[in-house]
Amino acid sequence: MKRTRIATRTLAALLSAILLLGTGGPGAAAGLKVGVVHLGSVSDGGYNQAHAEGVQAMKKNLPGVEVISVENVPEGADAERVMENMIKQGATLIVAASFGYLEPALRVAAKYPDVKFVHPGGYKRAPNLTTYWASTPEAFYLMGIAAGKTTKTSKLGYVVALPISFFLANVNAFQLGARSVNPKAETRVVFTGGFLDPAKEAAAANALLDQGVDVLGVIVDSPITVVQTAEKRGAYAVGYHYIGAQKFAPKGWISGIAFTWGNLYTSFGRQVMEGRWKSENILGSLKDDFLTIAPFGPAVPADAVQLVTATKREFAEGKRQPFPGPLRDNRGVERVKAGEAFPLTELRKMDWLVEGVIGQPR
């Protein structure tokens, strides 16, 4: 028992030493030190990489910015320790780049009121903690328009990690976009139960294609497998998280959506350096460049591209909503009344799938 405890402590001490060594230590030039905590690997071709690229863009745009980045940090006490360690190394801006870092970040923020924290997707704030997110349904609606115009069978499919509200909202928006241009469009959903299990995603994609689906979308950490499977079987594909996924489907690519945090992170950095940073809740979208739409593939008809561009403008001008009432869910229950729209700030409450989606929300 005692031996294991000593071993654990030695290991912990060793790890912190490595952490300190690996990141340069004290005595850096004046400017801004930014600490970034990642849940996964920054080369995942997906969620974590998008945040890392955003931070790199900030570093490029703002001379004097220094970055301390730690990957694969579990959500919980470990995250707190890593953040405190970064602060001890002089970091005055902390990017806690995963949803589950909210509580750890809030606790560390309370302890270090002079350090600024930013957190994606958080639903609680502090005087020194800003939350931000990019609202995705508008972009998924646009993907739905392109898919609804491109499909030949009017059967669309989505491979989704888990039935959580934000993902359900994305699938709903996709279906509504598709139906807005194709009244026969239906979207089948398969949940794989995990954020990254490529072999199971391939099996899920095949199961959907076997039902006559000819457009496959994907909401898991990396779109590569589903996009490749669709291409191999002559179907169309809609990507997510990684714009480069296009190269995996030269024929069947429709389009895709990816997060682009560079401009936002640059503005965070500039605000802290100029001393005018303040705690906010930022919900950005396509018009703020928090999201990018990938180039359209050769299979997408020209009128679909024009329609997507026009609809994107309507979203930006506030003339259109991705969830306009009246809306029923796929069990026939009315969810949004006529004349109203489901508010994009309440997406975490969306626990239903809209009419036309074939699948079970829980």
Partner 1 sequence: MPALLRSLLSGAVLSGTPLLYATLAELVSERAGIVNLGLEGVMLMGAVTGFVATARTGSAALGTAAAAGAGAVFNMVFAFLVIRRRANQLASGLALMFCGVGLSALVGAPHVGSQIAGLPELPIPLLADLPVLGPALFARDALTYAAVPAAVLLWWVLGSTRWGLGLRAVGENPVAAFAAGRSPHAVQYQALVLAGLLGGLAGASLSIGIAKTWAEWMTAGRGFIAVALVIFAKWHPLRAVAGAFLFGGAVSFQLLLQARGVPVSPFLLDMLPYLLSLLVLAVGGGARRHAAPASLGRVFQGTP
List of residues contacting partner 1 (CB under 8 A): 40-41, 43-45, 157, 163, 188-194, 196-204, 206-208, 210-211, 213, 221-222, 224-225, 228, 242, 244, 247-248, 358-360, 362
146: tokens are 């392109």
> In angstroms, what is the minimal distance from the CB of 84 to partner 1?
24
> In angstroms, what is the minimal distance from the CB of 200 to partner 1?
7
CB of 84 or CB of 221, closer to partner 1:
221
> In angstroms, what is the minimal distance from the CB of 151 to partner 1?
16
Buried b (16+ CB within 10 A) or exposed e, 305-335: bebbeebbeebeeeebbbbeeebebbeeeeb
Residues 192 and 220: beta-carbon distance below 8 Å: yes
CB of 83 or CB of 213, closer to partner 1:
213
CB of 163 or CB of 324, closer to partner 1:
163
> In angstroms, what is the minimal distance from the CB of 202 to partner 1?
5
CB of 198 or CB of 324, closer to partner 1:
198
Place of tokens 């024009």: 306
Place of tokens 């590569």: 224
Which of 79, 76, 7, 91 lies closest to 38, judged by CA? 79
95: tokens are 């990017």
Which of 183, 187, 185 lies closest to 171, judged by CA? 187
What is the Rg, in whole angstroms, of the alpha carbon atoms belonging to the chain?
22
Alpha-carbon span 209 to 234, nearest angstrom: 10
Residues 33 and 66: beta-carbon distance below 8 Å: yes
CB of 129 or CB of 224, closer to partner 1:
224
CB of 82 or CB of 160, closer to partner 1:
160
> In angstroms, what is the minimal distance from the CB of 269 to partner 1?
26
> In angstroms, what is the minimal distance from the CB of 239 to partner 1?
12
> In angstroms, what is the minimal distance from the CB of 121 to partner 1?
22
> In angstroms, what is the minimal distance from the CB of 248 to partner 1?
6
Buried b (16+ CB within 10 A) or exposed e, 151-185: beebbbbbbbbebbebbbbbbbbbbbbbbbbbeeb
Please report the sign of the dihedral spanned by the C-alpha atoms of residue 345, residue 348, residue 352, residue 353: positive
CB of 84 or CB of 186, closer to partner 1:
186
Which of 220, 176, 211, 217 lies closest to 329, judged by CA? 176
Question: What is the phi-psi region of residue 134: left when phi exceeds 0, alpha when psi lies from -120 to 50, beta otherwise?
Answer: beta
CB of 203 or CB of 341, closer to partner 1:
203
